[in-house]
Chain A
Amino acid sequence: MKNKFKFLTKESIKKKIGTKSFKIVNIVLCIIIVGIVNLDSIVRFFGGDFNEPVNIYVVDEIGVYDTFKAVMNNSYLDILQNYNATVKKADKDIEEIKNGIIDEETDDIIIHIKKVEEPTLERVFDVDFISYEYVDAVLYTNIVNGLNAVKENEALSMANISQELLSKIGKSVEINRVMLSDDIKEDEEFMELIGSLITIAFIVPVFILVNLLVQMIGAEINEEKSTKSMEIIISSVSPEVHFTSKLISANVFAVVQGALLMLYSLIGAGIRALTTGGISSGINQAIGTSEGSIDQISMYYNMFLESEIAHKILVGIPFFIIIILLSFLAYSLFIGILASITTSMEDYQQIQTPVMIFLMLGYFLAIYSSVFQGASFIKFMAFVPFISGILAPVMYTMGELTIVGLIIAIGLLIVTCALLYKYGMKVYKVGILNYSSSNLWKKIFEALKS
């Protein structure tokens, strides 16, 4: 019987992993994941309008060009780089520049700083902001901010306020951040956010894997049942052996697929490191910081690694893995039992819908948990089996759950799996040999009573 169990499990794994479709799907997944990790490089490689340089021509009637350029290059360099924009002093007549823009339909901008007859502190100069079409709102706002800074500067000069005094006035307020809890450190305030972002990125593959698991185990049991080969199999091995082999093979598949997804991500990151000189370059572009701020990203990265939250996540990882594996098992047990009572693939598709909705509930609660921090309902749901696999790790990372909480969630999952196996087996034994949907619930209750 032991050999038969091994054989059944191996065959079932082979059926999932040794197929052409598995190989093709994984090649496609690898390409997609590597592509997503390197999406910005791919977009840049193919080029397009976004990459066209934008010239910001300054027609200056009052001699503030240098100040404006300095403000833009010092304070808004990231924006200028993102839009591939350069501030230039107009070396031609304004009409000539306008005609050039019209003829070539470029995204170039003319900033015409005009002298006013009687300047006041409110009105130092006027500006015409000229472009061929709409200008991106971010670029527009930042140029206007730059012009406002120049105007403030000029107005302060007019009011006889020296640069020294101005820098004193402009000095930031010193904030002494005080937190009353002894358990937290002030410099880690935003690390929790980073931690929860990492965990949310972690739950997406879990969500995908549970989805795959549900499809795999259900389809296999349903196929054996609908082709009546179940009769022959069950006449050779007990339903317990049969079901256990399906559970193990489906879970092995989920773990292998999960490991492959991680491998593809690592390949993507490796390619990124080779082509762009660092994993963080994409982050820079995403958050709008300059290449020069890689050091800043590295600093955050190192801060994160050295932070309490990273330590907390590291401590939590073994528990996360146990919770996720137990959740896989709970889902496969539940869906296997459901698949055994269905009589066709259509039936199975319908019956799995509530399970998928339950899974989605866990997913969305995990997403909303950062918005509703401290919500008792979400905290309670983190212990509910089937949901805890996704929600508990996120709640733990956000500090809403302790290690004890994770252990309780694990305990509840173990109890759930044991009960599902004990009572589900009774239903499974009856279900796999049942080909009629009439009196189905009656048959299930009778099986449970037996």
Chain B
Amino acid sequence: MLKVEHVTKYYGDFRAVNDISFEIKEGEIFGLLGVNGAGKTTTFRMIMGLLDKNGGKITLDGKEIDYSQTDKIGFLTEERSLLLTKTVLEQAIYYGVLKGLTREEVETRLDEYLKEFNIEEYKDKKIKELSKGNQQKIQFILALLHKPKLLILDEPFSGLDPINVEMFKKVILRLKSENTIIIFSSHMMEHIEYFCDSLVILVNGSAVLEGKLSKIKKDYRKKNIKVIGDIDVDTISKIKGVVSVDKKREEYTIKIEDESVTKNVFKALSKCDNITKFVVEEPTLNEIFIDKVGESYEK
């Protein structure tokens, strides 16, 4: 289990991370969200032992993370972190041996992964000769080579086409089933919703929202009502507690302040013709994120 307890980090007078806490169990995918400069990279670096903390504690399986533990951690950086003049094999050996593997182990595992990602022919090619997507695949493979207990994925789908995104998703879910602890960071909220069991949203280094995704959504008061039919937008908009009414193709999305408004909306809609859909939905993570981060920005 990874435990982050009351961790704080200052750069001079600037507080980059402020008293954040969370824990991730084996086989759990945890979302670490935030806009640029929110403190995600600093948090990753502290988890990997690259930066000293000013306060708090980070433990993996009960042990404080230091260089005796870092071989258990795999890291996929947001930007490419590959030495472009090396071949795929040379790069794999370079990172693999630094993670405690032998050259033979690296080569065997690399062959397996290259086969899984359908890029066996690139083994002896230089990194700089590969496309952006294939470089991302190599980077992903290199983060997995030493079978890490904790895997940090920072924007893992960057530069990938939809087919490769599906390939990555499959592997990530397999790692989850193999009890890997995964920290997932992305600006694509649908990916977070797809993978993450729990999450934390950081704003200016502080956690503004944290917990189980299902609970976050349930506890979030604002709901969406999806309606298809001939409705009177003006009447609905004037109902107390209705935030907005938007139309996308045939479907209306009525945002309401809380669930109690549903009754009044339903009453008003019952007077309209041809209502073929009326569903009360929880808000998307994207909406929650924009709402929470925006709120904190205003503060």
Binding site for B on A (CB under 8 A): 1, 3-4, 7-8, 11, 223-224, 227-238, 433, 442-443, 446
Chain A residue with the shortest CB-CB distance to B103: A7
Assess A442 versus B67: contact at CB under 8 Å? Given A234-B50, A433-B51: no
Query: A200 CA to B2 CA in the complex, in Å?
Result: 62
Interface string of B42-84 (1 = CB under 8 A from A): 0001001111000000000000000100110101010111111
Question: How far in angstroms is the closest Cβ of chain B from A12?
Answer: 11
- Docked complex Cα distance between A8 and B95 (Å): 10
Cβ of B99 within 8 Å of any chain A Cβ, yes or no, is yes
CB distance from B238 to the nearest CB of A (A): 50
* A233, chain B: closest CB distance, angstroms: 6
Contact of A433 with B50 in the complex, beta carbons under 8 Å: yes
A232–B12 touching, CB < 8 Å: no
Does chain A have a CB within 8 A of B194?
Answer: no
Q: A4-B98, A237-B98 are in contact. Are A232 and B67 (CB under 8 A)?
A: no
With an 8 A cutoff between CB atoms, is B11 at the interface?
A: yes
Are the CB atoms of B50 and A232 closer together than 8 Å? no
Most buried by A among B48, B70, B73, B97: B97
Q: Does B122 contact A (CB under 8 A)?
A: no
List chain A residues, Cβ under 8 A from B70: 235-236
Contact residue among A224, A227, A238, A446 (Cβ-Cβ distance under 8 Å from B12): A446
Instruction: Indicate if the CB atoms of B67 and A8 lie closer than 8 Å.
Output: no
Residue in A227, A236, A442 whose CB lies within 8 Å of B83: A227
Nearest-Cβ distance from residue A245 to partner chain B, whole angstroms: 11
Q: Smallest Cβ distance from B259 to chain A, in angstroms?
A: 45
Q: Is the CB of A229 within 8 A of B50?
A: no
Task: State A442–B129 Cα separation when bound (angstroms).
Answer: 39
Identify the closest chain A residue to B127 (Cβ).
A227
| Complex Cα–Cα for A235 and B72 (A) | 10
Query: In the complex, what residue of chain B is closest to A1 when comparing beta carbons?
Result: B67
* Bound form: Cα–Cα A286–B176 in Å: 79
Nearest-neighbour CB distance to chain A for B13, whole angstroms, equals 9
Contacting residues, chain B, for A229 (C-beta < 8 A): 81-83
User: Is the CB of B94 closer than 8 A to any CB of chain A?
Assistant: yes
What is the bound-complex CA distance between A387 and B98, given in angstroms?
37
Distance from B185 Cβ to chain A, minimum over Cβ atoms (Å): 14
| A267→B82 CA distance, assembly (Å) | 42
* 0 or 1 for each of B17-35: is its CB under 8 Å from A? (1 = yes): 0000000000000000000
Q: Once bound together, how far apart are the Cα atoms of A184 and B71, in whole Å? A: 65
Tell whether A228 pairs with B48 under 8 Å between CB atoms, given A7-B97, A8-B98, A236-B71.
Answer: no
